[in-house]
Every structure is written in structure tokens, then in C-alpha cells.
Structure 1
Amino acid sequence: MTGNGRLARSCVLALFVAGCGAEEGGGLAVQIFFTPAPGEAASELRGDPPADISDFRLCVTAQDMEGRRCANFSVADYQKAGRSRLGDIPTGNDRKVSFQGFQYSRQEASWCGELSGVTIRKNQTTKVSLFISGCSDFTATRNAMSSPRVFHTATRLADGRVLIAGGFKSLSGAPEICTAGGIQFSCLRLQATDQLDVYDPTRGEFQALTQAQLKHPRGLHSASLLPDGRVLLVGGCERAVLRLTFPAGPAPVLVVDPQDQGLGDGWGLAGATAEILDPATFTTAELPMTGVTPRAWHVPLAVPGGQVLLVGGTGPGDPPVELSTAVRFDPLSMAFSEVPALTLARHGSAPASFGDPAAGEFLFWGGSHAAGPQNPGLFAEILTVSAGSDPVSRTPAFVTTQVSRGWPGFYGANAELPSTGGTPRVLITGGMIVDKSFNNQDLPFTLNQFRLIDLAAGSETMQENQNFMSRFRAFHTATTLSSVITEQDEVMVAGGFISYDSVNGYKTQNWVEFFSPSTMAFTSKQVGARTVTLLIARAGHTATLLSDCTVLVAGGFTGDPPLTRLSITDTAEVFNPTPRALEHLPVVGDCR
């Protein structure tokens, strides 16, 4: 699926907000960007606001301000005067500007947006851009990415923009015959891209970096933001295969292509190389990775002090070799070294950091194989990383005390929740079982289980009173929403493959649900009579928490076999968690 005219159109509303008063004197010009509804004409020249609002509210707040400055404005008055005024804005740094658009008769906001880090200077007018989106809903970005992508990376840069790198851009139009480990199976082949995009959250649009590209096409790679603002991109592969049949029983469903019809294996030059991208110039420099194992499907961990640890994944082999080691990158020496790390080899795992970031602790769940019938084996471990020594793995208490509640899942999604009573918590969601030995299934199958884990050191436990998610999921995302906006702890779980069967293959979904640890339940959200869902079904996408507390959801597989063929999308959408109630007013704090 590619971008369409609706995604590419935009409207601009130019507001002029003037500060006044003896100690004030600061001006603020806010340029509003939004995506029109289907069939709505764009109006860049007129500067009209969204067609479905009659009024809007503008607020400015900051830590050092005595209360917030808010005012409501009529769209009709704005259109007549060409500007709106909001007085008594104190000068200073780190102001937050927020917008709510609403119908006066309903007194419920339908468009929301905010921008933090704004500076108001005396006797000067500060000009800012603000992308507004549907409150408590998903909104399409104003344009699409430059390429369809799945299993790409999305890295939030120091200035709030998001770097979209690599991923697989295409898959074979019809099933092919692949071979791994001497076993033939039907598959779809995926081809990586070297293209880069940057998403600007203040305008809601992507910029294709036509002047820059990756040194090598990559998918299933990693991207890490370094302390100096540069981005480290490591490993991955140029070609991968998505299994469609399983003649020898369940197996990992996405692997580096071990054989490519005489063209060499699917690693290409990606797996054994790395590169550094400088966002100031968007230039890339290749780094040598001699003496370490090439890898894909690995996990990048931020090491206290600025180093990066690339853990697990798969390495070259037929079939690809699963790895337990890690590669350490030192940004001072710009060198890589391989070190022991995990107790078991893992790939397709979704680790979560927890507790004090300075402690460098990460929970790994899944990505490893079953030990036997109904025996998940070492389905989880905790890795502690530091700059001065090798990683240390330990087994959390629940692996032995609550073994019946574990599973050897691949392709799940995890999220850290705020600590309660000083105890860190992690939510584990879904995934896929790919081991016949675990429950004697002939095909891989998706899961709807979840676990909320308390991670008090030495007494780690899974909470017992747990329900199921409303949908089965794998290759989905789990994102902790900011309580700055939602005023409560909440995790958004979105998309993923809902099922796999031998007739229809993989089916993507647009279903979204929200987990509340206070109720231990997943629920959906409503906008009027409509249930909030992704705009299109997705799996293998990315979900990135932005500095304005919204979430950018980008790319992925889409399709609903057998009605539509599985494809890769270049579209993206933004979820805005801001409540629709006009009583909800902005608070100090942001997601930066």
C-alpha cells in the first residue's frame, strides 16, 4: 500500500498570539498543520482551520509561570480578523504551547496538539510550527515515507525528529521455494532498502533524504542514538524470507535468506558492517566490524556511560545460527568487540529496560526454544550491563517458581511501566510459539496471553490475577503512554499478525487495546460510537513515542489474505492520547 492524495494534502492555520504587559512583551506566532479528512479540500492559501471545529483554545504554560495562560477563540472571529491574541505571556524558556479545536455546541475537543521547549523573548515574536491530530485517536501523517518499509528502525533524535532507516521495501509477488537446513518450504522473499527518511513531528510530515542513504541496504538491523546525537546502525541483512509452509513442523517464521538462487546468501554486506549517521549533515560513515560475528535480529542496549551492546540475534549459517553473545561498541575508540552475554541464544525477543537507567538492567523474555512438552525452559533472563565489565545474566525467580505461567514465545512486545512502591514493572504481551515440542502443534500460532511482572531483585514475580488480551498478536508493538497526558499509567498495544494458517497465511490487524495496571485489564477506546483502531492493519511496524507525547506508527506488512495479498506499506499515522474533554488542560512536563 502506498501513499495517496489524502495523505499528501495539508492545511495551514496561521495564528498570531501576542504577549503584553510591562514585564511581558513576548510574541508567539503559531503555524498549525493538520491532515484534512477524506474529501476535504486543502486550503494552504486561505489558512482555514479544520472544517469540523467552530472554536479553538490556545494555552501557554511553564514551570516558572504562575498558572497557565489560556483563551478560547471563535473560528469566525479569527477568519475575520486574520489573527487571535492571547495576552500576559511571561517571557522565558521551556514554554509549552497547546491547541484544542472543538465544536462549541458539543464542548468536546476533536483536534489536539502541543509543543514543548518554546522560548518567548521580550519584544520579539517567536515563530513555531504545531501539528495537530485527532484527540484520543489516530491521524494519518501529512505524507507517506519515501519507500514501503517493514522491520526498519525508527530513532528519535535529540531535536525530536525521527530517523527512519532501512527495512525491507518489497516482497516476492508469488510464493517461492526456499531451502534452509536442507528442508524446502514455500516462502516470500523480502528485499531491503538503503533509503532514509526523517519525520518532523511539528509539521506531521516525512522528508526523504535524497542526498543521503545507507552504505548498504539493511533490514532486521539495529539503530542506537549515541550520547553525541549521532546514530549507530549495525548489522541486519539484505534479503530475508517469510515462511509460508512448515513441512517439518513449526520453526522461526522470519529468517535471513540462507540461499538465494545462485545470488549468494541474504546477508550481503549488511551483517558484517556498521555505519554512523550524523543528523547535523545526514552523512554516513562506514565502520569496520572485524573479529566479531555478523548478526541480524539482535537487540541494541544502551550501556551506562555511552557504550552500546548488541545482544543475541542470528548469525551466518544454514539455517542461520542463533547467538547468545553480544558485540560491544565503544564510541570513544569507535571499535567493536565480542563478549559473552546471555545464558541462552535468543532472537526475535523483545527486551525491556527497567528500574534506574544507571543500573543497566534489562529483562529478556522469549526468543528461545522450549525444553520439552509443556516445558518452556529458560524463557526469561535478566541482563545487567556496564561499561567496565562483561554483561552478567541471572535467572529471575519466577522462571522456577512460576514455570507453568511462562512460554517460549518469539516476536512478542514488552513495555516498562512506572514503578509502584519502588518496584519496577514490565508488561509482556503476545508473541508466537514456533516449537512443535512445546505443545505438539503442526504450525506456529499466535498468543493472546500477557504477564505483568514485578521485578524486585531476588523475588521477581508474575502477578497472578491476569486476563487475556482481546486479540492474538505477534509482530505487534507495545508503547507506554505518558502520564503527562493520560494522567494514568497505560500501555497501548497495536497491530500485529492476528493469526497464521496453511490456507490463508498471515493476517494483519488494525485492532488497538490499552492496558491499565490498576485494573489488570485491556480495554478499547471509543470516539463517539466508533472504536479507535489503526487506520490500516499493520504488522512488523514501528511505534515511537514522540516529544509531544504522541506516538508515530510507521510502515509494516498490511493485508488480509486471501481477500488481499500481503504487502508492505509506506504509510504512517500518529496516535494522540490527549483526552477529548475540554476540562483537560495542559500540565507542565513533556515526553522529551
Structure 2
Amino acid sequence: MAVARQYHTASILGNGKVLVTGGSNGSNSLNSAELYDPTTGIWTTTGYMNVARQYHTASILGNGIILVTGGNNGSIYLYSAELYDPTTGIWTTTGNMNYARIFHTAFLLENGNVLVTGGFGRIYLSSAELYDPTTGNWTSTGNMNFAREYHTAAILRNGIVLVTGGYYKSALNSAELYNSTTGIWTITGKMTFARQFHTASILENGNVLVTGGSGSSYLSSAELYDPITSSWTITGNMNVARENHTASILGNGTVLVTGGSGSSYLSSAELYDPT
């Protein structure tokens, strides 16, 4: 990349390029953005965001525009959101969120709206809000039952959003479901292990695989959520305990887990076979 950065986002655009935004260089938050072209292996700079930010989210809207939300710039927690147009390379501001937040989640719903949940903004947040791309406005929706940061959100096949774990004074094992039709959150089965900085992946059979993270220690454990029974079952442990890792579903249905940190920073990778 042209700029060293951490705590940034990366999004695959409709044209196949990867957009990297913001983050930190270790001293300051960044407003720079750059594009990776997989056909040439070359990085190029693109338009700068209006606000420097780290610990933000980036979501691809139905029209291919990228929505960036929240984060922080130094000691300032951000309400702001902005849009990146891949056809022009230009960022434009859009409506502010109702709550400034970092360490939140943002997911595109089936109706085209974006659901933002939880995080931290000088206090732990249970609030959730919806962004409407057609108006550029944010509206509050039902609060989660538990305030949380460092959690995950995954959209089940029925359109319900599953939020798992995270942190509120200690790691959480709670999970809850958001119904976008009613705007209501309901508590579902608890995970076996409290965890934060974990991953959640939707498998081909509709179950959700949660891996690693940390509670009172770094976790190698993994567990499966069954949306039909609303229950969790333990599955095989990873070979290495890790948090702040990634999990990617490959074309053959296996899950690739990479990197993260545990007793040290990790270069290892491993595969989970759901079958």
C-alpha cells in the first residue's frame, strides 16, 4: 500500500478492485484511501475521506456505493458517515448517526438499509440504528438487550440478524436476534464460551460458525449456532488459540481462518471442514 495503516477497512468493489479506507499510522488517524487492482497487483490512491477515522465500518450498498460509519479521530468519537462512489473516486458526506460509536457492526439488510449495532462512545452502547440509502437519513430502531462492543453480526438465511458475544465490562456469551420487519430484538441461546474479537460465518447449511476470540484467555474453541433450534453446539477446536483473526468461506464450503494474535502475533492459517 502507499500508506502504512492499521484499524482500517477493506471492501471488494463491484469492479473487482479492493478499497482500503482510513485507519491509523500509529500516531494519527488517517483520511486516505487507496485501491488495489488484482489484475495488475498495483495500489493507487483515490479520493480522501472528509474525516480521518479508525475503528470504523465500511458497507457496500445495493447500488455499489460504499458507506463508511463512525470510528474515532484521536479522542473524538465520530457520528459522521460518508459515501464513496467508485465511478468518480469522490467521497460525499451523508447523514450523521444518532450516536457516535467505535467497535460497532454494520450490515446490509435485505431491504437495502444498513443496520448499525452497539459499540462504544464514551459508554457501552445497546442502541441500534438504520441508514436509508434513498434518503441519506438515520433512524433509531429497537435497542439490543445487552450493550456490547467487539461483537459480531451475521445475517441468517431468513433475514434475521444474529449478534453474538462482545464485551461489556467482561466478555459476553449472550446472543440475540434482530427482526428487521418489527425492529425488535429477542434473546436466543447463549454461546458455550464468552468471547470477544471472534468471527461469525454463515455456512452453506445455514448454521453459523463462531471461532476463537478471547474471554478470560485466548480461545481455540469453535461452536455452531443452529437457527432452527436456537441452540449452540461445540465443534472441533482450532489448532491455535487466536483473536482478531479473519474467517473466509471458500468456494468449496470450507472456512479459512488466518492470523490474529494469541500468545504472539500469528502467521498461521487453518481450514474448517463443515462436513
TM-score, normalization: structure 1? 0.39
Q: Is residue 447 of structure 1 aligned with residue 266 of structure 2?
A: yes
Q: Tell me which of 252, 267, 290 is aligned to 2:123.
A: 267
Q: Give the aligned partner of residue 379 of structure 1.
A: 221
- Contact 1:230–1:277 (CA<8 Å) still a contact in 2? yes
Q: Tell me which of 208, 214, 217 is aligned to 1:368.
A: 214
**Matches of 2:240 and 2:49, distance apart in 1:** 36
**Matches of 2:241 and 2:36, distance apart in 1:** 41
Alpha-carbon distance, 1:201 to partner: 1.7
**Matches of 2:36 and 2:59, distance apart in 1:** 22
**Matches of 1:301 and 1:132, distance apart in 2:** 26
Q: Is residue 298 of structure 1 aligned with residue 151 of structure 2?
A: yes
Q: Give the aligned partner of residue 310 of structure 1.
A: 163
**Matches of 1:415 and 1:449, distance apart in 2:** 14
**Matches of 1:370 and 1:286, distance apart in 2:** 33
Alpha-carbon distance, 1:132 to partner: 10
- Contact 2:36–2:43 (CA<8 Å) still a contact in 1? no
Q: Is the helix fraction higher in 1 or 2?
A: 1
Q: Is residue 289 of structure 1 aligned with residue 135 of structure 2?
A: no
**Matches of 2:161 and 2:59, distance apart in 1:** 14
- Contact 2:56–2:103 (CA<8 Å) still a contact in 1? yes
**Counterpart residue type for residue 155 of structure 1:** S
**Matches of 2:133 and 2:38, distance apart in 1:** 30
**Counterpart residue type for residue 322 of structure 1:** A
Q: Tell me which of 96, 118, 123 is aligned to 1:235.
A: 118
Total equivalences in the alignment? 245
**Counterpart residue type for residue 190 of structure 2:** A
**Matches of 1:236 and 1:370, distance apart in 2:** 20
**Matches of 1:267 and 1:370, distance apart in 2:** 22
Q: Secondary structure at 2:58's aligned position in 1?
A: strand
Q: Give the aligned partner of residue 201 of structure 1.
A: 86
Unaligned runs of 5+ in 2: 4-14, 18-34
- Contact 1:293–1:338 (CA<8 Å) still a contact in 2? no
Q: Give the aligned partner of residue 555 of structure 1.
A: none
Using a 3 Å threshold, how does the CA distance of structure 1 residues 370 and 226 change in structure 2: closer, same or farther? same
Using a 3 Å threshold, how does the CA distance of structure 1 residues 220 and 454 change in structure 2: closer, same or farther? same
Unaligned runs of 5+ in 1: 4-97, 99-111, 114-130, 172-190, 239-265, 400-404, 434-443, 457-592
What do the CA deviations read for 1:522-551 (whole angstroms, capped 9, x no partner)? Answer: xxxxxxxxxxxxxxxxxxxxxxxxxxxxxx
Q: Equivalent pairs: percent with the same residue?
A: 24
Alpha-carbon distance, 1:361 to partner: 1.9
- Contact 1:344–1:368 (CA<8 Å) still a contact in 2? no
Using a 3 Å threshold, how does the CA distance of structure 1 residues 141 and 200 change in structure 2: closer, same or farther? farther
Q: Tell me which of 155, 170, 173 is aligned to 2:74.
A: 170
Alpha-carbon distance, 1:133 to partner: 5.6
Q: Secondary structure at 2:74's aligned position in 1?
A: strand
Q: Tell me which of 55, 79, 94 is aligned to 1:151.
A: 55
**Matches of 1:308 and 1:160, distance apart in 2:** 22
- Contact 2:212–2:219 (CA<8 Å) still a contact in 1? no
Q: Secondary structure at 1:446's aligned position in 2?
A: coil
**Matches of 2:212 and 2:219, distance apart in 1:** 10
Q: Give the aligned partner of residue 334 of structure 1.
A: 183
Q: Tell me which of 277, 282, 292 is aligned to 2:131.
A: 277
Alpha-carbon distance, 1:360 to partner: 2.1
| Larger RCO, structures 1/2 (Cα 8 Å, 6+ apart) | 1
Larger Rg: 1
Q: Secondary structure at 1:336's aligned position in 2?
A: strand
Using a 3 Å threshold, how does the CA distance of structure 1 residues 140 and 379 change in structure 2: closer, same or farther? same
- Contact 1:307–1:330 (CA<8 Å) still a contact in 2? yes
Q: Is residue 393 of structure 1 aligned with residue 232 of structure 2?
A: yes
- Contact 1:230–1:276 (CA<8 Å) still a contact in 2? yes
**Matches of 1:393 and 1:378, distance apart in 2:** 16
Alpha-carbon distance, 1:378 to partner: 5.6
TM-score, normalization: structure 2? 0.80
Alpha-carbon distance, 1:134 to partner: 7.8
RMSD over aligned CA atoms reads 2.6
